[in-house]
Amino acid sequence: MGKFENGFYKDMKTRNLFGIIAFCIALTVSFTAGAQEDNNRDENGRIVRGAYETNRLFDNVWIGVAGGINIYEDGFSSPGPFGGRLGPALDINIGKWVTPSVGLRIGYQGLMASSWSLTPYPFSSDVNENGLYKNSFGTMFIHGDVMWNISNAISGYKETRLWNFIPYLSAGYARSYKAGLDWANNELAVGVGLLNNIRISNRVDLTLDFRQHIVKEGFDSAPNSGAGRAAGMTSATFGVAIKLGKTGFKRTGTYENTIADLQTANAALEDAKADVENNVDELAAENAALKDAIEDLKNREPEVVVEKVMLDVTPGAVFFEIGQATLSKRELFHLDFYVKNVIAQDPEKVFTLTGYADKQTGSAKRNQQLSQMRVDYVYNLLQTRYEIPAERLVVKAAGASVDRWNDPTLNRCVVIE
């Protein structure tokens, strides 16, 4: 370390001190905020991760504007807070989250910066009481950033997380200049940063951004020493980001689970359909047997026919679809058959109609109502379509209190006996 006039020093180790301090403060604040955020976990307490659907070009896009301070760092120390190097900063950027953890951003960062020197240079303006020259200059950094949302990467994606901690790498074009001066400095620059996103709403975030980018010595118009030394620019800005297009990500597993659930439900319905078809086939076989028996009995003595038919064919039943109180065409056919071949055979007999419901579906109140609607429907059919006198019919509604057939699909019925 060498000593210069007025007790000022030039030390390579202190070159980026301000930038390192700012970055460490931001890192501490972000980790503290992240620790207060609930992790995104499933019902078993495990962190939920992707894969996620690929979003469209303009989904998860944001535009940000922020203001703050720039601090230019070189090897020349000066007195006072921040060495009298503070300048206003402006950030304007547009970015997109490609995945919940990886994002890209382009933008402008700049406005003003300043430094000190022992001799005047193109950017020099004022000289202080110690004979030091202040170099005030405009600066801009047109940059592209690759961003990593470490909150989503470690704790699992959560769109409603209050605070997201996002380190990033920068590279781009840096320029220093002064109004009214033809001379300017242009070069490539690289840097690192730390973006803190604070959620306000689904469309609005507050941003706290700390950036450190590196340029060559002489960015402030001081001559380059030729030793390959670097200078730095630290910026700290606070602003707002507005989200455009569709926000958030959907896991592909969500649809896969839905499809699997639907397939399972469909398989259950297929099984139920097969059971109903088997029951229909059995009932059709029974009806055919009954018809044969009736035809056989018709060829015998009348008194024998009546007695035998009543013994073999009662009780009868018609069956309803789940939640329905009207009969299908097939069941209307069965009812027609029963009326013509059973009820009509004994004009003196009083028949009891009992409505039932499936107790495994719906509430007790609903099942009682459904069984009453079913038996009333059959009662009205017998009176209006077949002109069975009301005095020959007794109506009952058993609801689901009686599991007559020990089978939900068969218990949705009206029994005639």
Do 293 and 234 lie in a common domain? no
The residue out of 231, 250, 269 marking a domain boundary is: 250
More confident position, 207 or 14 = 207
β-bridge pairing 163-177 and 2-3:
unpaired
Average pLDDT, the chain: 82
Do 71 and 129 lie in a common domain? yes
Question: Which of 111-120, 169-178, 209-218 has the weakest average pLDDT?
Answer: 111-120
In a domain, 256, yes or no: no
Tell me the per-residue pLDDT of 26-78, one tens digit each, with 9 for 90 and over: 554 444 444 444 446 666 667 666 677 778 889 999 999 999 999 998 866 66
| d(C-alpha 365, C-alpha 382), whole Å | 26
Name the 3-class secondary structure at 104: strand
The residue out of 227, 250, 273 marking a domain boundary is: 250
More confident position, 291 or 26 = 291
Give the residue from 318, 398, 408 showing the smallest Cα distance to 359: 408
Do 73 and 194 lie in a common domain? yes
Question: Are the CB atoms for 125 and 114 separated by under 8 Å?
Answer: no
| d(C-alpha 396, C-alpha 35), whole Å | 66
In a domain, 272, yes or no: no
Mean of the pLDDT values across residues 138-151? Answer: 96
In sequence order, which residues have a C-beta less than 8 Å from that of residue 397 and are 6 or more positions away? 354, 355, 368, 371, 372, 374, 375
User: DSSP string covering 42-93, please?
Assistant: -TTSPBP---BPPPPTTTTEEEEEEEEEEEEE-SB--SSGGGG-EEEEEEEE
Tell me the per-residue pLDDT of 233-277, one tens digit each, with 9 for 90 and over: 999 999 999 999 899 888 776 555 667 778 889 989 988 998 898
In a domain, 260, yes or no: no
Strands ordered across the beta sheet of 413-416: 316-319, 413-416, 351-356, 393-399
Number of domains in the chain: 2
Do 28 and 108 lie in a common domain? yes
In a domain, 44, yes or no: yes
Q: What is the pLDDT of residue 118?
A: 85
CATH no. for residue 412? 3.30.1330.60
Tell me the per-residue pLDDT of 70-80, one tens digit each, with 9 for 90 and over: 999 886 666 55
Burial of 106 (0-12, 13-18, 19+ CB in 10 A): middle
CA atoms within 13 A on the CB side of 86: 9
Do 292 and 245 lie in a common domain? no
Do 306 and 391 lie in a common domain? yes
Do 239 and 111 lie in a common domain? yes
Do 337 and 231 lie in a common domain? no
Q: What is the pLDDT of residue 68?
A: 97
Q: Does the pLDDT of residue 294 top 70, yes or no?
A: yes
The residue out of 193, 228, 250 marking a domain boundary is: 250
Supply the DSSP symbol for 345.
Answer: G
Give the residue from 106, 170, 185 showing the smallest Cα distance to 139: 185
Do 232 and 291 lie in a common domain? no
In a domain, 368, yes or no: yes
CA atoms within 13 A on the CB side of 25: 14
Do 246 and 292 lie in a common domain? no
CATH no. for residue 17? 2.40.160.20
| d(C-alpha 323, C-alpha 362), whole Å | 9
- The three-state DSSP-derived secondary structure of 250-280 is CEHHHHHHHHHHHHHHHHHHHHHHHHHHHHH
Pull the structure tokens for residue 354. 């009992």
| d(C-alpha 223, C-alpha 216), whole Å | 11
In a domain, 313, yes or no: yes
Question: Which of 194-203, 233-242, 300-309, 333-342 has the weakest average pLDDT?
Answer: 300-309
Do 237 and 320 lie in a common domain? no
| pLDDT classification of 10: cutoffs 50, 70, 90 | very low
Mean of the pLDDT values across residues 155-165? Answer: 91
Domain that holds residue 364: 286-416
In a domain, 120, yes or no: yes
More confident position, 248 or 106 = 106
Question: Are the CB atoms for 178 and 113 separated by under 8 Å?
Answer: no
Do 164 and 56 lie in a common domain? yes
In a domain, 191, yes or no: yes
Q: Does the pLDDT of residue 341 top 50, yes or no?
A: yes
